[in-house]
Structures are given as structure tokens and as C-alpha cells.
Amino acid sequence: MLGEVTKRYDSGGRPAVDAISLTVTEGEAVAVMGPSGSGKSTLLNLIAGLDRPTSGTVTVAGERVDALSETGAARFRRRQIGMIFQFFNLLDDLSVEDNVLLPAQLTGLPRTEMRQRGAQLLAQLGIEQYKDRYPARLSGGQRQRVAIARALINRPALLLADEPTGAVDTATGHAIGELLLELNRAGQTLVLVTHSAELAANYAQRTIVLVDGQITSDRHEASS
């Protein structure tokens, strides 16, 4: 996935990511931990093609993401990468259903198939009864479930989650963790950034620790 990747934002400063090599196998769930400023979000952005490495290679689903044009990277991201954010990033003027279907519309998925996938995901995530509501009328946990459904609508090769439980209460955080674990058990490859050692231990098979842009620990968790 990452081959000797370095990312510098300031030519004279310390790299945000420093010569990292990392392989995530299909179907694996990997948690990325580390202090603020350690390079966690930069790592996710590099994997998603939202940022380009200063040097090194990024390969996802057999494609060199770092070699794509901006347009090509955006197209690749829509088809192969699902992203979940701490603060949901839902569009408040769209209904729950329309938020979920938006990425499928952007990839040109036929309308009938798009609506079937959307209905299946809303049911799977327990939010079908909210499909006509707007995000502002939902709880944090419900909004995160909408965001997860949106991330999965195009059946991505890789699901990236940046602090997916950071904006919800502890009980809801556990429910989101269980949901991610369930998705992974069904075969979804997952990389999640978290400050929660408990979340990492319970819902990922492997935990990577970043400090100053370098991997200082890469360990497999005991089966949960």
C-alpha cells in the first residue's frame, strides 16, 4: 500500500510522514494511533489520494494512487475508497437517503441499482425509518450511521475512518465500533484512525502507532 512514503509540507521542516512502508491485506482491520501531530490524518489523506507524497508510492486495489491526476484521483476515490469522518460531513440540505445516494450518483450508477443498494444499507444500519429526515434532526450516532452508509454505497475496496467515534458518547461509540467490526467480518478492508486504545483493541486485528511521522509499533491484537 505505502512504499517508502515521505510527505513534507515545509521543505525545511520535519516530514509529516517519514519513509513509511505499510501493507494492509484485503479484509484486514487496522487501527492507527499516535499523539496529535504524529501524521495519522496525513497518512489517511495519502492513502485516499487527497494528498500526494513528496516521495514514495501509494498503491490501493492494484492502482498507483500517487501517479493519478487530480481528476483521476477523484474518480478513483469515488469508486474504491469510502471515507468516514469524526464530524460526519453530511449535507444538511439533503435528506438521509439523498446523502447516502450522492456518491453513487456521482459515479453514474443506474438509478434502480442505486436505490436498491441505498435501501439495503439503510436497513442494514438500522436507519431506514429516517430516510426522509434531514441530518440536523438526527442524533450523533444516527448521523454517523448515515455517513457509514454513504461511505459504503459504491462498495469500496477500502474503508477509511478518521476518529469515527470522536463526536459521539461512549455507548454510541461502542455501537459504531461493533458496526465497523461487523462490516470487517463480512470482508470489508478497514483502516481507522483513533485516539481510543479500547476501540483499537476491540475492533481492529492490528494496531499501528505513529510518532513523529514514523511507525514505532505494529502489533496484532488478540482475537476479540
Helix H or strand E segment including 76: helix 70-80
Of the candidates 127, 161, 122, 128, the one whose C-alpha atom is nearest the C-alpha of residue 142 is 127
pLDDT tens profile 164-209 = 888 788 888 888 889 999 999 999 999 999 988 888 998 899 999 9
Main-chain phi, psi angles of 125, to 5 degrees: -95, 5
What pLDDT, in 10s, does the model give residues 112-125? 999 999 999 999 99
Residue 147: other Cβ atoms inside 10 A? 26
Three-class secondary structure of residue 126 per DSSP = coil
How far is Cα 101 from Cα 119, in angstroms, rounded to an integer? 10
User: Does residue 5 register a pLDDT over 90?
Assistant: yes
* Of 111 and 86, more confident: 111
Tell me: the pLDDT tens digits for 118-160?
A: 999 999 999 999 999 999 999 999 999 999 999 999 999 999 9
Residues 6 or more apart in contact with residue 60 via CB below 8 angstroms: 1, 47, 49, 76, 80, 81, 157, 158
Beta strand ranges found along the chain (DSSP E): 2-7, 17-22, 29-33, 55-60, 63-64, 81-84, 158-162, 189-193, 206-211, 214-220
The pLDDT tens digits for 23-76 are: 999 999 999 999 999 999 999 999 999 999 999 999 999 999 999 999 999 999
pTM of the model: 0.92
